[in-house]
A = this chain, B = another copy of it.
C-alpha cells in the first residue's frame, strides 16, 4: 500500500471508529469527526512529532482539538497510535471513562479541556509562545479548528497575536465543513473569506481540499517550513464525509448515526491499522532562566502602600527567586504594577494588549508546559475572560490571576472599572483559591503562596494606598484568617479595603464601650470557618463588610461557614449602582464605611441583647 493509499485507509478507519464509539454511546459528534479524518490521518503519519509513550517529553509537538466536540476522532487517533485500545475506545462517554464527551487532560495526551468553542487556538498561541520564548525548543503546536468557531472573537485575538508574535511554530488546521450546529456557517465553503482575514493578521494561508491526501501532504509539509508566519491550513471538507445518509447534510450535528452498521459498511468496514507518529528529534532541553535569588519585599508598618503595588513588587521578587514564574498583562501593567516584573524580567513578560481572553488562554497554554503564569488586569476585566477561567479549571490548570481596582473604593472612574462581582465569579470556579489582602506585607506573603498552589488562584487588590498594619515576617496561610483586634461584644469581618473600615468602626464602638472583635478574612476561599464559628459563639453576632455586590462574596462566604451555627449575621455590601466620587464618598454612599459599620453593629446589638 503506498503512502497516500495508507492515509486514505487510515482516515476511513478513523471515521469507522468515530461512528462506532459514538453509536455505542448513543451520542457524540461523529459527523464533525468524519470531516477532519483525512487531515488527522495526514498529520499522524509523518508530521506530528509526539512520543505517545512519553507524553511528558518537553520536546513533543502539541495537538489541540479546538473543536473539542470532534472527540470521537481524537480518541480514534489515540487508538490508531496505540495509546488506547479498542475496548477503551468503546467506553466513550461512559461514566468513569477517561474518554469524556469533550476531551480533558485526565488523558495524558490532552493538554487542555476543550468544548467551549474558540479556546483551543488562543491556548495554542500560549503553548507556541512557550516554545519560542520560554522553553526555546522547536516543538510545534497543531490546532484543529472548526469553521463555526471562527465566529468567536477569541479566535481573532489568537490570529492577531500569533501574527504579531510571528509564531511560525503554530499551525491551525481549519476543518471548513460548512455546517454548524443549526445550519450553514456565515461563510460556508468560502475559504477565501477565512484566508483574507488570516492573511490580514499576518498568517501564511494554504487552501486545500481537505479530503485529498496529496493536497493534505503538500500543505502539512509546507506548513512545517517556518518563515516567521503562523500557518492556517484551510481545508474544504464535508461534514459526515463518506456516509451518504449524512454527508454534507444539515440536521446531523451532535448525533450518533441512526444506521451505524450500514455506515461502517459504506466506509469499507472495520480496519485495524496502526500508525506510529514521528518522535521529537531535537536533543535540546527546555531553557532554564537564571535566577538571582533574594528575599521578598518588605514594607514598613505604619506607611501607606496600595496592595496592587505590593503585588507588583512581590511578582518581581518571585521572578528573581524562581525561573518558572512568568507574567502576562492586558496592557494595564502600570496600573496592576506587573510592569515591575516586565522591567526586571523582560524575557518572561508577555504584553497581551487589551485582549483578556487571549491573556487567559496564553496563561493556560504556558502552564501546559510547566510554567507558572501570573496574569494581571483590572479585576472588572477578568469578567471578559470568565469562560476561559471556567474552562481552565476543567483543564486542571495551575494559574495565578490578579485583579486590581476592586470595588467602589477606586473612586472617580465609575462603575465600568469597579469589580463588584469578581469574588462571586471566582469563588464559583471548581477548586479555586480566592485571596483578598488588606496590606502590603500580607499581599507579598499571599502572592508567594499562590505561586505554589495548584488550581486557579485569584488575588483581588485595591487601587488606593492602605496602611501597612502587619510586620513583614508575619505569616498568612491560605485558608487562615487573622483576628486583628480582640473583643467579645460583636465581631466585624472585613477584607481588603473593608478591613480598614472595620478597624475604624471598632474604634468608634470602643469609644461607646462596645468591644468589637475584628477578623481579617484575607482567605475568602478556602475560608477559616473555625475562627468564624468561634466568633459566632463568643460574641453576640457578626457584621460582615465587603466592597462587592451582596451576592456570592464575603458575606455569603461567612454565612456558608456558619450554616447551622445560628448566630446573627448582618451583611453590609454594595446595594446601589455607584457612580463617580471620591473613595470616601462612594464607600459612604454604599454603606460600607466605618460609620455605617458601627451603625450596623449597634443595630445588631440592639436586636440581639
Which residues in A have some Cβ–Cβ distance to B below 8 Å? 25-28, 68, 93-97, 99-102, 104, 106, 113-118, 148-149, 151-157, 160, 164, 180-183, 185-186, 193, 196-197, 199-201, 331-335, 339, 351, 353-358, 380-381, 383-384, 386-387, 390-391, 393-394, 412-417, 420-421, 424-425, 427-431, 525, 541, 548-553, 555-556, 559-560, 563-571, 577, 579-582, 585-586, 589
Contact = CB atoms under 8 A, between A and B. Distances in A.
Nearest to A417: B115
Contacts of A197: 197, 200-201
Most B Cβ at <10 Å: residue of A182, A381, A416, A424 = A416
B186 A160 contact: yes
A191 B581 CA distance: 38
Most B Cβ at <10 Å: residue of A115, A164, A380, A559 = A559
| Integer count of this chain's copies in the complex | 2
Contacts of A428: 420-421, 424-425, 548-549, 551-553
Given A390-B380, A431-B577, A563-B559, A95 B582 contact: yes
B180 A354 contact: yes
Contacts of A550: 560
Contacts of A425: 386, 421, 424-425, 428
Contacts of A581: 93-96
A200 B186 CA distance: 14
A355 B94 contact: no
A416 B160 contact: no
Contacts of A556: 551-552, 556, 559-560
A207 to B, nearest CB: 15
A95 B583 CA distance: 10
Nearest to A338: B182
- Shortest 8 CB-CB contacts between residues of A and residues of B: A153-B153, A115-B416, A552-B552, A566-B566, A95-B581, A156-B156, A424-B428, A196-B200
B580 A97 contact: yes
A156 B186 CA distance: 14
B580 A334 contact: no
Contact of A355 (B106, B153, B157, B563): B153
Contacts of A417: 101-102, 115
Contacts of A416: 68, 101-102, 104, 113-116, 391, 394
Contacts of A381: 116, 387
A177 to B, nearest CB: 14
A151 B355 contact: yes
A97 B586 CA distance: 13
A185 B353 contact: yes
A558 to B, nearest CB: 9
Given A93-B581, A116-B380, A156-B156, 10 more contacts: A93-B414, A94-B580, A100-B414, A151-B157, A151-B160, A152-B384, A153-B156, A421-B428, A428-B551, A564-B569
A97 B414 CA distance: 11
Contacts of A182: 331-334, 339, 351
A154 to B, nearest CB: 5
A303 to B, nearest CB: 23
27 contacts: A25-B412, A26-B412, A95-B586, A101-B413, A101-B416, A102-B416, A106-B579, A113-B416, A115-B416, A117-B354, A148-B353, A151-B331, A152-B384, A153-B358, A181-B335, A182-B331, A182-B351, A185-B353, A186-B353, A197-B200, A383-B386, A393-B577, A394-B415, A427-B552, A563-B571, A564-B568, A564-B569
Contacts of A156: 153, 156-157, 160
